[in-house]
Structure 1
């Protein structure tokens, strides 16, 4: 019996230590954009760092040479809130009184202006590996503004007037992470405001778009400025959603919820993040979640049930690449966090 107790204690100790070994080794800050801008759109891969900023510019930064190598855009693209990069090129999305898109392919820039985006505040887009994607904007006329593409974002068609939006319910353009393509015929998205809702949508496209959906309310705080601001997929049916109230950024109450059944039911985190959070990402290799907000970055090693503070450095949006965590900041800067997970 004594040996069994000692073994149990040893296993518990080892497990507990394993769950606490996320270490911030260093933080580097680089100047990517103009010192008058901030960014909520960020992508990093082997070709460089791509940042869509509030001044309408898409910055391309060489991480090896530590220098800006290209800049695209103009003032009319102000408030870029999301971007998607693939081998086909890049699409950036402008939010504002009227939506607009900018396509960059092999250095050539094309601005996508279409009447279907008139008077629409765009929130998020996502495109599958086969070039099929969906973009969501705030409700117009009582319905969510939804658009689809079948050519990597070069052209878009309307899916509007299909999913009704209760008064006061809308999306957030906080970090380009409130909509996720599941495959070429389905996607999920989350909302906030008067209600925070998880929508699962199936669609097909022939001459006309055919669409069906299911929805479940999430128990975030209700009201303007509150709700779901970001989600990440861990497995086919497991999602973590973060948010809160951006007008009260230090209050972490009701800032994270988890589903293990594709949105049918939601459970609150047992230990919430330290405040309102605008972005959440998942390091699948190390099974670690990171979420960020105005008062810092937190991490979770148990699927979002318990969160610990990583740093008090703020970040609007996050992305991961080769063991480093990247976060956008004020004044055109990006913070690079070197993290060790053991």
Structure 2
């Protein structure tokens, strides 16, 4: 249960069904940017084609305001020993970032001046709690997710843009399975859309999706068809509206094989159907792009779906952990060795 916590432009490509090579793909590729660091970025928060934030290992937070041509290191000076796994940004100046770990290593930082200064707005004081990811439905309302405490997942909530946080009551949270937890892999184990929120799990016999329609006060849970186990389950969720969602995952110990590793829902997460043609390998991040088009990324490559996640096609062989797209149609990906890229189309 602790393993998941301590978790060149690539050639345009498409996996040949049943083969091992690549053939020309659907006109997409990632363009790497020069970040000047070797940190691993699992937290990614693009705002537009010009502005993006990334957060990762060794307390590193980067920000660009020129489309990735240059990056500034703007992380909190007291966070060098911590691991950022999620960041949410509202513009070039305002962002909220989450570090992970047991007890006080789980913290939330907020900035309103582009990272020149940060305020620690939450420090976990429960030695059992371990926060994995956070989400904001608007500039004021946000949620953070912890692995189970006392048999139930824990929700942390803010109503003032991340300046203050409060642990939510657990009466409306279903019981967790004995070995169930969430994966702090790409900042997308918890996502939201308006009053709706969802989080995904693994670790036990069944990978599940929890959903809320009241801003995170009460939750319902549904089984998914994705395989689950000690290092397997759903690693990432994406919803383009309250009904249509995609789940991706697999087992990070077997990166090159992930049968039934992607699924879709059309009813807000109550029922899930395995993709007809899936990526086939472990994927840690998924994001909607435009309309029914979605992108998925992982250590072994990137895939695109033009039909809402039902079928996927490989277009890149490079390693990424997280992917996110903005309202202006810009898509970004981030991962190990300082890799941050923009989508070329």
Kindly tell me: are residues 33 and 79 of structure 1, through their superposed partners in 2, closer, same or farther at Cα, counting changes over 3 Å? farther
SS of the residue corresponding to residue 55 of structure 1 reads helix
Q: In structure 2, list runs of 5 or more residues that go unmatched.
A: 1-23
Residue 44 of structure 2 corresponds to 42
**Correspondence for 2:199 among 161, 164, 189:** 189
Structure 1 or 2: more strand by fraction: 1
Matches within 5 A, 1:214-253: 214-253=220-259
Mean CA deviation greater in 228-237 or 84-93: 84-93
Residue 151 of structure 2 corresponds to 142
Task: Give yes or no for contact 1:252–1:275 (8 Å, CA) kept in 2.
Answer: yes
Give a deviation string over 1:78-136, Cα, whole Å, max 9, x none: 21011111257111000112311111112331113445555422111111225111110
SS of the residue corresponding to residue 172 of structure 1 reads coil
Is 2:94 the partner of 1:86? no
1-structure distance, mates of 2:258, 2:294: 16
Task: Give yes or no for contact 1:172–1:178 (8 Å, CA) kept in 2.
Answer: yes
Q: Find the structure with the greater CA-based Rg.
A: 1
Aligned length: 311
Is 2:32 the partner of 1:29? yes
Task: Give yes or no for contact 1:249–1:294 (8 Å, CA) kept in 2.
Answer: yes
2-structure distance, mates of 1:281, 1:65: 20
Kindly tell me: are residues 147 and 199 of structure 1, through their superposed partners in 2, closer, same or farther at Cα, counting changes over 3 Å? same
Matches within 5 A, 1:111-126: 111-116=120-125, 118-126=127-135
Is 2:311 the partner of 1:306? yes
Task: Give yes or no for contact 2:34–2:69 (8 Å, CA) kept in 1.
Answer: no
2-structure distance, mates of 1:128, 1:234: 13
2-structure distance, mates of 1:171, 1:229: 8
Task: Give yes or no for contact 2:62–2:75 (8 Å, CA) kept in 1.
Answer: yes
2-structure distance, mates of 1:258, 1:213: 20
Residue 320 of structure 2 corresponds to 315
Kindly tell me: are residues 310 and 64 of structure 1, through their superposed partners in 2, closer, same or farther at Cα, counting changes over 3 Å? closer
Residue 129 of structure 1 corresponds to 138
Task: Give yes or no for contact 2:157–2:167 (8 Å, CA) kept in 1.
Answer: yes
Residue 61 of structure 1 corresponds to 64
Mean CA deviation greater in 66-75 or 222-231: 66-75
1-structure distance, mates of 2:36, 2:51: 14
Is 2:172 the partner of 1:166? no
Q: In structure 1, list runs of 5 or more residues that go unmatched.
A: 1-19, 205-209
Residue 17 of structure 1 corresponds to none
Q: CA deviation at 1:29?
A: 1.9
Task: Give yes or no for contact 1:147–1:160 (8 Å, CA) kept in 2.
Answer: no
Give a deviation string over 1:171-201, Cα, whole Å, max 9, x none: 11111112222324x4221111112111122
User: Scaled by the length of structure 2, what TM-score is found?
Assistant: 0.83
Is 2:109 the partner of 1:102? yes
Residue 281 of structure 1 corresponds to 287
